Structure 1
Amino acid sequence: MPLFQRLRNWRKNTISASILKAFKKVLPPMSSTEKEAIEAGTVWWEAELFSGRPDWQKLMNYPVPTLTVQEQAFLDNEVEQACALVNDWEVTTQDMDLPEAAWQYLKDNKFLGMIIPQEYGGLGFSAFAHSEVITKLSTRNSALAVSVMVPNSLGPAELLIHYGTPEQKNHYLPRLATGQEIPAFALTSPWAGSDAAAIPDSGVVCKGIREGKEVLGMRVSWDKRYITLAPVCTLLGLAFKLYDPDGLLGEQKEIGITCALVPRDHPGVEIGRRHFPLNAMFMNGPTRGKDVFMPLDFIIGGPAMAGQGWRMLMECLAAGRAISLPSSNVGMSQLAVRTVGAYARIRIQFNLPIGHFEGVEEVLARMGANTYAGNAVRIMTAGAVDLGEKPSVVSSIAKYHVTERARSVINDAMDIIGGKGICLGPSNFLGRAYQQIPIGITVEGANILTRNLIIFGQGAIRCHPYLLKEMQVAQEPDSATSLDNFDRLFWQHVGFSVRNGLRTLASGLFGARIFTLRHQAAAETKSYYQHLTRLSGALAFMADVTMLAMGGSLKRREKISARLGDVLAQLYIASCVLKQYESHGRQQDELPFVHKAVQQCLFEAQTALLQTCRNFPNRNIGLLLRLVSFPWGASFSVPADALDHPICEQLMQPGSTRDRLTANCYCPTHPEDPVSAIELALVYAIKAEPVEAKIRQDEKNGLFKNHPEANVRDIARLAFDMNRISAEEYELLATRNRLRDTVIHVDDFPGELRNPAAFMNLRNTRQGDPK
């Protein structure tokens, strides 16, 4: 036997065997539901980011999502019309629902069947088209977006497409596509909440009477809440645990989580009451049932899919989460950036547009960079779904970080518009978005849960090139084959960790420029790829050391895992931003947004790594990690102030950059609409600035001294009377002033506001409209 083989056998039988034995002891127990959750979906670009040396050419080779001619026409026509049918103020104060005309329009034009294949009467749209539609609808009204989003996200249609029997597909999909059936999916329980696998809702296999005949079925009891569209649904998707104590289906007594479709009018179904989700006014409510008998063919996929519900949900959840919440929150961000950028140019204080003050400039620039980054994440993640991926990790990243960035954008927007934003009324274009931001934070996996348990908890195992394989081998019965496989994987893993550690130390000592890129990067962004490669190596090395040092206890160290998840997320966000810059043809006017967004990602990733080192339970290991990753200390700082001004200049004037950044924003043309008024007022504000400057210079020269009418309201008339401006210039200022007054107007109402009847008629009774 060759010496090398003898040495390998010695290593395997002594060192690797001992390590495998210890590994099995520290390996945390994993339930079947946890195993299915971890193994659900696919691994995509996030695996490259976890590799320590991402292949950036691979990122650039991903196709850029595009719309078909049919999809673009739908966005330009049907989506525009749907937006025009809805008035946000009336929905949230008078109708408490979408108007009937809007509901009918959505049904007639197959908005509820965008993901249903054309062969079943649906539109068969791509994930990217679905995302584009939801983003645009969200810039108009939350209830409108949610009512379209839910039937096209995780729910009966998607589950039927993937798992339904031919009979179920042929019956339900055409009806869902045309709105004859309105779906809802009931998963969340009062006693389980985010721990969906622990739902107490249950069913027992038994015999019962169905249409006068005895059939094999289930007697199901459930109590669900937070179920979107439940009050108006006609077809209820239901998740519950199924048991077979009498062995009617086989030997297995506890069959597992099962998904069924239950018609609303089925005997025993309790449905129709509503929750009141922060004035969003989309239909959401509870549903209950007690010992409701239903035949086995109600199970999605038929009896053969009994007990497969959790796997079904985990496999489908990624696609829905990758689209719905990121799209709706990017829509709100685009609306905020477009309107507040204009407002900052229109609103004048101390004789200057407020956007020219550095304090406002800082906040507005942050809004712009966050919106640019959020949109990049939305597009790239939806594109992954169209490539056939079910990106469970990046969908969690997109859900958490896009909704958090949207929260930052809306909060910043409210700070800028001040009192205008906090007084609700028909002319307030942001108040409802501010109220509704917590909904996106809470639903489809609460953000605290997503950040602390899912992103790294699932990402580290799925993205790591060896860890999941090692875990799978460790769960096999002891054998020569399993030991041989573990030996090979473990020592490959050691080599992987050592290489990443050495590369991380070298880049920390000598700079990230030691990394040679394998793709032709733009000169202005080349260093970002190198820095991201350095941080990727640091993440991979630190994750390996952390998992080795903590073992199964890492599951309880949520702050550590959350910070490591933050690093992975920031690398992904930066990748999306760079990909978007390339896909837009390296537009130079976008560079300030790119610089600010990527530099913020680098700083946040560095902060998370340093905090991990600082708070590591074993201080010596923490110090070692810091010395390897950042031998000279912190390398990245927050973006420079100099980036703010060019960003704000782009946001405060009409132009191609502003239009690209807010491409999905619905811009109505009705003169009484607040968004329409802002768009028109911005144009006249810019036109009037030279005339305004002339008047201010005269004022500075003392020409209007001792004239009481030389105030902010009447100075234009005084200048005209003194022949300092022409009639045309005066008319321009008068038009600007009228439009500006419309924009800054704050609604007021009769004193009987506490009277419900008066409240329901606010739009018709408001006082003080500008003339």
Structure 2
Amino acid sequence: MTVARILPTPEAYELLDLATELADRELAPQVESFEARAEFPRDVLRTLGRAGLLGLPYPEEVGGGAQPYEVYLQVLEVLASRWLAVAEAVSVHTLACYPVAAYGGEQLRKLLPDMLGGELLGAYCLSEPQGGSDAAALTTKAVRDDDAYVVTGTKAWITHAHHADFYNIFCRTGGPGPAGISCLLADAGTAGIVPQAPEKTMGLRSSPIAQIAFDGARVPADRLVGEEGTGFKIAMSALDSGRLGIAACAVGLAQGALDYAVAYAREREQFGRPIAEFQGLGFLLADMATAVSAARALTLAAARLRDAGRPYSIEAAKAKLFATDTAMRVTTDAVQVLGGYGYVADHPVERYMREAKVLQIVEGTNQIQRLVISRSLGRP
């Protein structure tokens, strides 16, 4: 289905055309085999990086594309409509580049061209086994020892574990609470950084996640991002942008499910005519299409606030909440449209439904988004 889009520049249309071409050529033909093998498509990420699609929202002087977030999110949506795991990988990598881009000193920023070009893949180590939503209570410690920090603890649910080249480690360098948290940038090959066995997940099997154990890993002191005690601020500001990325992924997944369901309903005949002509199915498809458009509009409205330098944290929470709930509902309805065929792996909608679930959990569960939004309503 062709989606009507209004983009700010001719260059943005060209980028979206490039993303569509790559998605059709590099992503769509490979998704089923990679998902079946639970194999991470590292070379696909390199291809996207070399095409300039991994650094779109970052400045040109550090290797980025200098594009508005509004444009970046629409590129992400196109990728997600073909292969969610790849789009999610792009979103996570963009998130992992943010601490250095926004808070890193001159020495760290020299790494950005390789990060944004896809030669170095990043991971974001915030969640822990006993604390996902309560990030301020993290327990991973980093103790200063001469010219290094010695890191001990465990991080959980880490996308790109086993495949990342660098890790953002949010760790406790001071006392309890947010003020005691700092951010370190560590090379993946650092002794004492040990990825654990990949988790057995419901969906996104080509994007394995795992715990990361830090067993006395020595991270050079000049790899501190920002100042000691600013880690929680860095993490939360990164997550505002990351939630928009997940919202865009959700819109793309929902659009892909809608497109497949519509195409099937046009071809599948019962009682002598296509099932799309029956009002029961037609109204269901209409509701799906309307929900996808509404999710897209909410997501891009938040992105425009970000691009304008206006507060957008609450709008990002709304977009993440609504878009991911929409993806869950639309993919479930897509399975219903296909009937029994929707329940078998011969058609991708069963995979779409499994994948949609995780989007309601990552980058802050939707219960946390509701908490963020409701608290904002109680303030003057």
Q: Same fold (TM over 0.5)?
A: yes
Contact map agreement 1:116 1:173 (CA 8 A) in 2: no
Question: Aligned AA for 1:458?
Answer: S
| Structure 1: stretches of 5+ with no match in the other structure | 1-63, 208-214, 245-251, 465-771
Q: Within 1, Cα distance between the matches of 2:233 and 2:219?
A: 22
Distance change >3 Å, CA 77–CA 450, structure 1 → 2: closer
Q: Whose Rg is larger?
A: 1
Residue 166 in structure 1 maps to residue 71 in structure 2: no
- The alignment-based identity, stated in percent, is 26
CA displacement at 1:383 relative to structure 2: 1.4
| Other-structure match for 2:90 | 148
Moved over 6 A (4+): none
Q: Within 2, Cα distance between the matches of 1:272 and 1:103?
A: 23
Q: Within 2, Cα distance between the matches of 1:233 and 1:192?
A: 22
Contact map agreement 1:370 1:405 (CA 8 A) in 2: yes
**Deviation per residue, 1:685-716 (Å, 9 max, x gap):** xxxxxxxxxxxxxxxxxxxxxxxxxxxxxxxx
Question: Aligned AA for 1:137?
Answer: L
- 1:268 paired residue among 192, 204, 207: 192
Question: Aligned AA for 1:450?
Answer: Q
Distance change >3 Å, CA 103–CA 450, structure 1 → 2: closer
Question: Aligned AA for 2:48?
Answer: L
Residue 104 in structure 1 maps to residue 46 in structure 2: yes
Q: Within 2, Cα distance between the matches of 1:430 and 1:255?
A: 45
Q: How does 1:370-409 map to 2 (within 5 A)?
A: 370-409=291-330
Q: Within 1, Cα distance between the matches of 2:264 and 2:228?
A: 56
Q: Within 2, Cα distance between the matches of 1:82 and 1:265?
A: 31
Contact map agreement 1:82 1:105 (CA 8 A) in 2: no
Q: Within 2, Cα distance between the matches of 1:147 and 1:335?
A: 18
Q: Within 1, Cα distance between the matches of 2:130 and 2:248?
A: 30
CA displacement at 1:129 relative to structure 2: 1.3
Aligned residues: 373
Q: Within 2, Cα distance between the matches of 1:286 and 1:83?
A: 33
Q: Within 2, Cα distance between the matches of 1:424 and 1:255?
A: 48
Contact map agreement 1:230 1:236 (CA 8 A) in 2: no
| Other-structure match for 1:241 | 172
Q: Within 2, Cα distance between the matches of 1:459 and 1:184?
A: 33
Contact map agreement 2:174 2:229 (CA 8 A) in 1: no
Q: How does 1:305-704 map to 2 (within 5 A)?
A: 305-321=227-243, 323-425=244-346, 428-451=347-370, 453-461=371-379, 464=380
Give the 3-state SS of the residue equivalent to 2:360 in structure 1: helix
- 2:161 paired residue among 230, 238, 246: 230
| Other-structure match for 2:37 | 94
| Other-structure match for 1:125 | 67
Give the 3-state SS of the residue equivalent to 1:139 in structure 2: helix
**Deviation per residue, 1:330-364 (Å, 9 max, x gap):** 11221222222232222111122212223223322
- 1:77 paired residue among 7, 18, 34: 18
Higher strand fraction (1 or 2)? 2
Contact map agreement 2:179 2:232 (CA 8 A) in 1: no
**Deviation per residue, 1:538-572 (Å, 9 max, x gap):** xxxxxxxxxxxxxxxxxxxxxxxxxxxxxxxxxxx
CA displacement at 1:266 relative to structure 2: 1.4
Task: State the TM-score, normalizing by the size of structure 2.
Answer: 0.92
Give the 3-state SS of the residue equivalent to 2:292 in structure 1: helix
Question: Aligned AA for 2:337?
Answer: I
Distance change >3 Å, CA 459–CA 91, structure 1 → 2: farther
Contact map agreement 1:329 1:402 (CA 8 A) in 2: yes
Q: Within 1, Cα distance between the matches of 2:118 and 2:266?
A: 44
CA displacement at 1:431 relative to structure 2: 1.9
Q: Within 1, Cα distance between the matches of 2:221 and 2:40?
A: 35
**Deviation per residue, 1:124-175 (Å, 9 max, x gap):** 22101110111000110112111211111x32x2111211111211x21111
Higher helix fraction (1 or 2)? 1
CA RMSD of aligned residues (A): 2.2
Q: Within 2, Cα distance between the matches of 1:241 and 1:111?
A: 34
CA displacement at 1:390 relative to structure 2: 4.2
Contact map agreement 1:278 1:436 (CA 8 A) in 2: yes
Contact map agreement 2:242 2:363 (CA 8 A) in 1: no
CA displacement at 1:97 relative to structure 2: 2.4
- 1:136 paired residue among 78, 84, 93: 78
Distance change >3 Å, CA 457–CA 95, structure 1 → 2: closer
Distance change >3 Å, CA 176–CA 381, structure 1 → 2: same
| Other-structure match for 1:618 | none
Give the 3-state SS of the residue equivalent to 1:226 in structure 2: strand
Give the 3-state SS of the residue equivalent to 1:230 in structure 2: coil
